Structure 1
Amino acid sequence: MRLVALLLALLLPSSLFAQGAATLIADQVQLNDQEQLIASGSVEVLYEGSRLTASQIIYDRQQDALIITGPIVIRAADGTVLIADRAELDPQLENGILQGARIVLDQQLQLAANQIDRQDGRYSQLYKTVATSCQVCSDQAPLWEIRAERVVHDTEARQLYFTNATFRVRGVPLIWLPQMRLPDPTLDRATGFLIPEQRNTTQLGTGIKIPYFITLSDYADITLTPYLSSETTTLELLYRQNFVNGSIDVEAAASDDTLQDQDRSYIFLDGTFRLENDVQLSFDIEAVSDTAYLLDYGYSSKDRLDSAISLVKVTEDSLAQGRLTNYQTLRDDETNSSLPPIIGDASYETRLKPDFGGVLTLESSIDTAYRSSDDDGDDGRDVTRVGAQAAWEHSWVLQQGFVGTFETGLRGDFYEISDDSSYDELDLRVAPQVGGTLRWPLGRAGENGTAHLIEPTISLSWAESYGATPPNEDSTRSELDAGNLFDLSRFSGEDVIETGGQAAIGLSWTRNGALGMNSILSFGRVYRTDAQAEFTTSSGLEEQQSDWLIGGQITTVDGFLFDSRTLWDDNDGVNRADARLIWQNEDVTLSAAYIWQSADADEDRDDPISEWSFDGDFQLSEAWAVNMDARYDVADDRPVSGGLGLEWQNECVSIDVSVSRRYTSSDTVDPTTTYGLSGSITGFSTGRASRSLAAGCKD
């Protein structure tokens, strides 16, 4: 018969059942004259989430010991599995001996030993041990294994200590280590070496990166990575720390190489903190020793660095923010003083709902642009603006389904300008504006479930600027797009206001297919009484009659997406165009993009830009994956960059091989080809398997 052995509560030490949570189930339970309690036949013990199965368990009261006969399987609450032929343990299962045992940690790492000694419930000593995370078959050695005279598993520290260890591949010894420590797979963070990376570039030669991870606390760590090659000696650093109210991250490196006759270094620091009263503090520091360092080592492709500190507070009806930014250019044709290098801005905006309806928005702001040069004109000009604005907007649903919106506003700006004699030192500008928009959404549902929505839109507006005509510091790269087609002003900043009367028209058609194919097509245009000379020639907004804005998108249920936008001039044709194409399923992800921009001296672009890019990821099988990327400059008829990567992995090994080529037209950065090779064995916290790829054993 099967029964829950209540007798154990009377005979076994009370500590084993202190919480009354242990249950024993067996086919038969008997008590003999030697004060031994014997449970046999399909024995199961359930205790605090753990489960033990065996053919027989004997509790010897005189020796205060458990004698367990296998096959023994213990499944711990943390996922650890222990299998043994025979065991002698104390009733608390903290001390004793297991023979013919095997431990499986986190369903990844197997440790098989002739004998396991349990000590203090924390340490397990394994003798004549074989450790591997590979599939073990009887007819061949595993792909890799570690054979050791002794292994100590510290279950509290979650570390494995190997003595007299040999690393083998298909049974062939490759590396012998007298002592070795590795984290077990249940540990997320542990001090020690990470996976090395072999790196070969045409500039820096063949080298290797050997990262060393240091756990400083539960909330901080640092990774030091020596990078050694025939052309460089580099130390890379990654520091991370979490606080109660935020975090900081630091990336840095210092190099002594043969490329330049100077010490080279960089640092990127980012931090975010939540302060009192729901204020968010963010800051970042970016600095580099020379313009080519980041690209030479592949740390970043940025051609401008920005170091900034900002404070932001957001509530349901207000936004307060302030930011100070310092720019450093890495471009050959640009100087720091011309950017300008220091930008500061602060603003406060609140939205109110007055009794007469609509939304009233009040805003005040201040910004400044500072250049270190004292030259008169663009290279030395310093500008400070203080402004305030009030705007009111209201919408109505009219008869026949029309939706109308009315908005009006008034803004004033005070400017202080120095180091530029072409502008007054102090000046004031006042700008009123008013506008209205009328939309007519028309919907139709087809018999097969397809839905259509056509929405013609027209807007009329007027604005004027009285007083100052300040220099344009923050609106030099404005352009027409779907987001600003019906705005009162399409300049991206505060220094320039779109003036005069204007009308914008647009039409959009949205189709939601019954089979999941959805599409959007839209176009629009702006008509003005006055041309706006501050817009650049390729922005689509320079003339009284803007370019046609044409956009569309198609998506399908099988992962296909096509998206495109074009600015079309009646006389000159396409001014700007961009398109992207994406297709993805479980095994393939493909994306391609194309961009065209016409030449525009106002945007420092003497030649047109025509470039396409491609990215692809292919999961060829459970073991093999390929990824590739490429960029090509069609206008210059030259490649920009390209890369190819190959990954192979099974249940216990991962290998990555890559090659990339970066071309450049810069005078300070040379083209570079980079070859990479890295690999890892899974089963330890430094190398985890993403999925089970065990192929199984042949009969």
Structure 2
Amino acid sequence: MKLRLLKSACAAVALSMPLTLAAQSVAGQSAASQQAVPATQNAVLVADSLKVEGRNVLIARGNVEVFHQGRRLRASEITYNRKEDRLNITGPITLEDEDGVVILAGSAELDSRFENGLMLGARMVLDQRVQLAANELNRIGGRYTQLYKVAATSCRVCETGRPPLWQIRAKRTTHDNEAKQLYFDQAQVRILDVPVLWLPRLRLPDPTLKRATGFLMPSLRQNSQLGLGVRVPYFIRMGDHRDLTLTPFVSANTRTLEWRYRQAFHNGGLTFEGAVSDDDIKAGTRGYVFGNGRFDLARGFKLDLQIEAVTDDAYLLDYGFSSKDRLRSEVAVSRVTQDEFIATRLTAHQSLREGDINSQLPTTVANGLYERRFRPAGIGGVVTLSAAAAAYHRYSSDDIVGRDVARTNVSAHWQRDWTLPLGLRATHVFGVRGDAFHLAQDSTSPRQQGQLTPEAQLVLRWPFQKTTANGVTHLLEPVAMLGWAGGSNDNIPNEDSTRSEFDEGNLLSLSRFTGESRRERGGQSAIGLRWVRQGAQWGSDLTLGRVYRDAAEADFSATSGLSGKVSDVLIAGQLRNAQGFTLGARTLLDAGLSANKAEARVAWQRKDFGLMASYVWLGRDPGEDRADVISEWVLDGSYRFARHWTGATRWRYDVAGDKLAEARLGVNYRNECVDLNLSLSRRFTSSTNVDASTSVDFTVNLTGFSTGKTDSSYTRSCRN
């Protein structure tokens, strides 16, 4: 191999050496102003001046930089001895590699490949987050780096003599660059330079490692039912595509093991989580399991899996795992293309609501749907054909309350749009539906029933648009609908159409029932008006509407807004701006201008704060199993009131009952090396299944060793 020294544009000397160094002396130009040289198999040296002593020694001085196989070394002076294949380096020294590891030192003695040697007064920085300061650093084989008398931290260290917020002191630390691990011998954890924990051995991943087996940060929780307990998660890496996290939770009143399993496949992935408990709240073993997965199948099909199960109604709330009161387990296969939709699913329900009897609910449901669209050239428009089937099974064998239902539905519809004079848009729909029902364990209804429903609909829209001089666009669109549907609902039990909502999404629909057990019959019409404003700063949307029918639909509930011949007046609107503010509201007003239902939601999201408030009012309605008025406020907010401090709160207030239902206060401290969370929550409501409870949670996360992006806005700055 050859060493080529370019001392000027016209002079060159070649020497035989084990490692080829192309060394360039650049007069009048610092190394900092030169472009980085790409990594090659040879090393490239750049310096202000070069000197050769004999045939074995090369001396480079002034802004010295060496590039070799992805590594970059910068120093004040380098002396290379060919015979010993050794570099003597004078600092300040900076050694960087392609893995994001940076080593700073005062002086060093290394081999020509920077893989072995000694560095004094060294500091190693990993991924610009974790730094390890040591008196001495040894590089071994290019893979291991050993540091002696080490202080490690991810906190910002300033030249003021103040200790970092936390640090790990160790007699020796070894960094395995291949395994991405840090091994500490005789480790001592210090907070503000006060020792709080001593460990003979400690292993931590470096920040570039995404997954590694080991303990995660513990957390404390105080609960009025469970007592004071500690969670200690342990992460188990089971290869590149799966892992398991076990989290024991031990307190005075419970022994709980929480777990989470994840696995990735070439065509999808799945996640399962759950817990098993033996506590003093309820006799016997308690637990839950939640899981979901999604997979790509052949020919564009998707497989979706979901599992939700719990041993008793109160377990999820007692431990704060979830606030769900109805669980669903499901397997589904579907495919969606431009003109075709296929979906099949099998679902099992479990209700946790007080008063619900699962054996009398349709807890097992199977359904399938096929829909296809065609665009016939002869008549124009779009023809839609669909076929559906469903089955509802109850485990009870009692008459009526244990009713089982199976149904099939087929339909064909033709839709076409026109643009008429003066910009009037018209859409017509003609179609027919056929339904067949089979009933068991219901003496009040025939076992076999069928019906045929012809349908016709005409929708008219007349949009007017205007753009003002300041760029604001207004759209005013009156709409009207005329429709008719034949047939009758007969004596078919209502399985899937017991909860109907009247909103801007179904104002122009022929049927506003949510399922197939009921359809709106006879003639009807609807009128509405929509106004949209869109500007650079503000946008708004307002919809008004009402429905008229030949006859009232008895299966609509009293508060649905659809129970009479004339519906309630629908008023719905949204307001939003470019600063992250949104306001949405919807209400139904009857003839006396009284509201049957009303809801509103306001949200404002900015860089340093977020606010969400919602209000809902629902009138009494036995048809929807609501014996009392529901009136409730919910407030969620967070505010970053200082660079490192953020407060959060959640309040749920029962206006009808004039009492708090839920309250939570939390505070978070975060900087570049620590994340502290403290929260106090109280659930005031109780029932035969769940008691009121209070919880205090405290978590500490020493950031820097975890993967992912960091938010530089939390990084502290040093003061001179």
Give the TM-score of the pair, scaled to structure 2: 0.94
Amino acid at match of 2:222: N
**Would you say 1:512 and 2:534 are equivalent positions?**
yes
Q: Measure the CA separation in 2 of the matches of 1:585 and 1:423.
A: 57
Note if 1:691 corresponds to 2:697.
no
Which amino acid is 1:433 matched to? Answer: E
Contact 1:656 1:678 in 2 (8 A): yes
Residue 264 (structure 2) pairs with residue 242 (structure 1): yes
What are the ranges of 5 or more consecutive residues in structure 1 without an aligned counterpart?
none
CA distance in 2, matches of 1:540, 1:370: 31
2:477 aligned with 1:455: yes
Alignment of 1:68-107 (within 5 A): 68-107=89-128
Counterpart check, 1:367 vs 2:390: yes
Once the two structures are TM-superposed, the CA of residue 332 in structure 1 deviates from its matched residue by 1.8
Q: What's the secondary structure of 1:217's corresponding residue?
A: coil
For 1:550, the equivalent position in structure 2 comes to: 571
Matched, 1:639 2:660: yes
Quick one: which of 112, 132, 138 aligns to 1:111?
132
Q: Please state if 1:580 is matched with 2:601.
A: yes
d(CA) in 1 for partners of 2:251 and 2:15?
67
Cα distance in 1 between the residues matched to 2:161 and 2:620: 69
Matched, 1:672 2:678: no
What secondary structure is seen at the aligned counterpart in 2 of 1:629? strand
Q: In the TM superposition, what is the alpha-carbon distance from 1:661 to its structure 2 partner? A: 0.8
1:224 aligned onto 2:230: no
2:372 paired with 1:350 = yes
Structure 2: how far apart are the matches of 1:181 and 1:695? 27
Q: CA RMSD in A?
A: 2.0
Identify which of 446, 457, 464 aligns with 1:442.
Answer: 464
Deviation at 1:31, TM superposition (A): 1.6
For 1:270-419, list aligned pairs within 5 A.
Answer: 270-355=292-377, 356-377=379-400, 379-419=401-441
* AA aligned opposite 1:580: R
Hey, what does 2:513 align to over in structure 1?
491
Q: Would the aligned equivalents of 2:484 and 2:524 in 1 still touch at CA under 8 Å? A: yes
Q: Which amino acid in structure 2 is aligned with residue 168 of structure 1?
A: R
Contact 2:488/2:521 (<8 A) preserved: no
Conserved in 2, the CA contact under 8 Å of 1:629 and 1:644? yes
Q: Does 1:570 align with 2:600?
A: no
CA–CA distance in structure 2, aligned partners of residues 52 and 15 of structure 1: 13
Q: Partners in 1 of 2:491 and 2:621 — Cα distance?
A: 24
1:142 corresponds in structure 2 to: 164
Q: How far, CA to CA, are the matches of 2:14 and 2:357 in structure 1?
A: 84
1:512 is displaced (CA, Å) by 2.1
Q: Distance in 2 between matches of 1:461 and 1:9?
A: 96
Contact 1:281 1:310 in 2 (8 A): yes
Identify the residue that residue 13 of structure 1 maps to in structure 2.
19
Displacement of 1:572: 6.6
Contact 1:189 1:685 survives alignment (8 Å): no
Tell me the percent identity: 46
Q: Which residue of 2 is the match for residue 175 of structure 1?
A: 197
Equivalent position amino acid for 1:186 in 2? T
Which amino acid is 1:230 matched to? A
How much has 1:477 moved relative to structure 2? Answer: 0.4
- Closer/same/farther in 2, CA of residues 468 and 3 from structure 1, 3 Å limit: farther
Q: Distance in 1 between matches of 2:593 and 2:687?
A: 31
Question: In structure 2, what is the equivalent of residue 122 of structure 1?
Answer: 143
CA distance in 1, matches of 2:331, 2:117: 60
Letter in 2 for 1:518: G
Residue identity matched to 1:281: L
Within 5 A, what are the aligned runs for 1:134-213?
Answer: 134-136=155-157, 137-213=159-235
Structure 1 residues 686 and 317: alpha-carbon distance in aligned structure 2, compared to 1, 3 A threshold: closer
Query: Which range moved further: 308-317 or 204-213?
Result: 308-317
Q: Deviations over 1:403-424 (max 9, x none)?
A: 0000011011111111111111
Q: Deviations over 1:292-340 (max 9, x none)?
A: 1111000111111111111111122101111111111111211112321
Residue 692 (structure 1) shift = 5.3
Displacement of 1:186 after TM fit? Answer: 1.4
Q: Distance in 2 between matches of 1:9 and 1:403?
A: 87
Matches within 5 A, 1:588-627: 588-627=609-648
CA apart distance, 1:447: 2.4
Query: 1:571 Cα deviation (Å)?
Result: 3.2
The partner residue of 1:44 within 48, 62, 65 is 65
Counterparts of 1:224 and 1:631, CA distance in 2: 33
Q: Is this contact kept in 1: 2:287–2:315, CA < 8 A?
A: yes
* 1:657 matches 2:678: yes
> 1: CA distance between counterparts of 2:15 and 2:55?
18
Q: How far off is 1:50 after superposition?
A: 3.5
Letter in 1 for 2:703: T
Q: Distance in 1 between matches of 2:281 and 2:14?
A: 76
> How many angstroms does 1:686 deviate by?
7.5
Q: Is the 8 A contact 2:438 2:449 kept in 1?
A: yes
Q: Report the Cα distance in structure 2 between the residues aligned to 1:415 and 1:282, rounded to whole angstroms.
A: 28
Distance 1:526 1:692, change over 3 A: closer
Deviates more, 1:13-22 or 1:454-463: 13-22
Q: Distance in 1 between matches of 2:182 and 2:13?
A: 39
Which consecutive unaligned segments of at least 5 residues does structure 2 have?
1-5, 23-37
Verify the 8 A CA contact 1:2 1:26 in the aligned structure 2.
no
The residue identity in structure 2 corresponding to 1:480 is: F
> Take 2:114 and 2:458, find their aligned partners in 1: how far apart are those partners?
80
Any runs of at least 4 consecutive aligned residues in structure 1 with deviations exceeding 6 A, and if so which? 1-9, 15-18
Measured in 2, the distance between the counterparts of 1:694 and 1:429 equals 69
Q: CA deviation at 1:698?
A: 4.4
Return the letter of the residue paired with 1:335.
I
- Residue number in structure 2 paired with 1:481: 503
CA distance 1:423–1:18, shift in 2 (3 Å): closer
Q: 1:407 to 1:155 in 2, by over 3 A?
A: same
Does the aligned pair in 1 maintain the 2:209–2:707 contact within 8 Å?
A: no
SS of 1:400 mapped into structure 2: helix
CA shift, 1:235, in A, is 0.3
Structure 2 residue identity aligned to 1:417: L
Of 274-283 and 461-470, the range deviating more from structure 2: 461-470
Shift of 1:138: 3.8
Tell whether the 8 Å contact from 2:147 to 2:172 is kept in structure 1 after alignment: yes
Deviation, 1:8, is 8.4
Q: Distance in 2 between matches of 1:492 and 1:595?
A: 21
- Say if 1:9 and 1:151 are closer, same or farther in 2 by CA, change over 3 A: farther
Q: CA deviation at 1:687?
A: 9.8
